Structure 1
Amino acid sequence: MKKTIAILTVAVCAGAMSASAALLVGWDDNFNQPNNGSTTPPPKTATGFSGLATPDANLNWSRTASAASTDGTFGTLAGAGTETGFSDGLALNNGNNGHFDFTVTNGTADDYDLDFFHFDAGATRPKAADNWTLSVLSGALTVGNVTSGVSPNGGGTLVWAENDLDLTGLADNTLEAGQSVVFRLDFVQDGTIQYEGGHNLYLDNIAISGTVIPEPATLGLVAAFGGAVLFIRHRFMI
């Protein structure tokens, strides 16, 4: 009986641990830059989710096959199926400022908490637009700046930083069924020079991860099951 109780307890714990953040939408080799006529293949998505990556209108972004992050993760989100060989990434060229907007739509019947915004970024020379800010531009989540930082500058060598930006501190980070949200990832240069040949910022492997919110009936079932385990333990231990 003790063995049975232990198995039931492990089953409850396993159910709780399975609710870790998972990929909802991710972009790694499917960007749309109007300056090179590329189309937009669909991003990697969880079932029922969709996404769109939209560059600013200044045509300073380009697709590049020579600077892709190929470690197989979005930020540090592992097992998400990004490219591991050179495919393509994004380059913000010649010290210019720019941004990308990332739209996420929850087409499922469930509500989700959005937990992290992941991306890889790095710069090769000091005049690159390596200062970044993530904000919620519009949609169902709390609108406004989320956080900011600086990408590493390799002084001629591209060094990728894996970023996992926490969204759980937002007043509302829940994307309900049928809702959409638009994130903006903005890159700016420190100084006043807006053109410096070869001073490029590179961006790749962008994703949003999250967790499904259990329905009240499911929570009630888990609570009832846990209560039953405690009752059985009490009944057979006395």
Structure 2
Amino acid sequence: MITEPELDGEWESARPAEVVQDTAVRGAPAPRRPWQWVAAAVVATSALWAGGLYAVGDRTAGPEIRYRVTDDLCAQFKAPALDGLLGGLPNAASEEGSRHPALDWARCSRRSGRPDSGRSFETMALVELHKKTDPAAEFALDTPVSRWFAPSGGEWESVPGLGEEALVTSPGEETGTGLRLRVRDGGAVFTVDVYAYESRGEGGPDLPADSLPRPDRDALVAAAVEDARALMTALRTS
């Protein structure tokens, strides 16, 4: 067994004077060795570090995952409310998007099927599943696409009772009918867009007057909210 070397000879001369003195006085309490103080400091530092790491871990924890993303999003995004309001959206196309440790996403678009009409509509649903960082901080930020819906700096309006946070905006009169609805719930962000396209014949004149009607904005928002809620229900996992 390796023990402390006997403190005599040159070892004795290397000892602090107070330690030598204490050794010569029998019955006096032995001084605490320096490593005991070091050990105590290490324990205290470790406790503080662990506590700090725990706190940081809370702040950087991933968002709650309550939904799934599927390859065929159109199977879940039927959009019956918008379909009825916009005169039918029979042409559907899914985009499976991508799967990544940080983000999954998928998209579905549905378009009206009347090429002879002077107006056509398209709705598009995008589902993003953020798995590493909480999307709450950036959720309400403006984007170039959002500015298309509100080119004059229109404000987002809050939509109560839909996810943790929901916002809607729509274009000015010069841009036509449409809207963007965004919903955040846990790590998931749902976006429902509605676009209107005005069509003209080959020679430039407007097509027949039996074009699809321009829907009332409130009715359009209500339909988009209903279809977004149905999509969230279809993709909900917990």
Q: Please state which structure has a larger fraction of its residues in helix.
A: 2
Whether TM-score is above 0.5 comes out as no
TM-score for the superposition, normalised by structure 1: 0.32
Q: Please state which structure has a larger fraction of its residues in strand.
A: 1
| Structure with greater Cα Rg | 2
Where relative contact order (Cα < 8 A, 6+ residues apart) is larger, the structure is 1
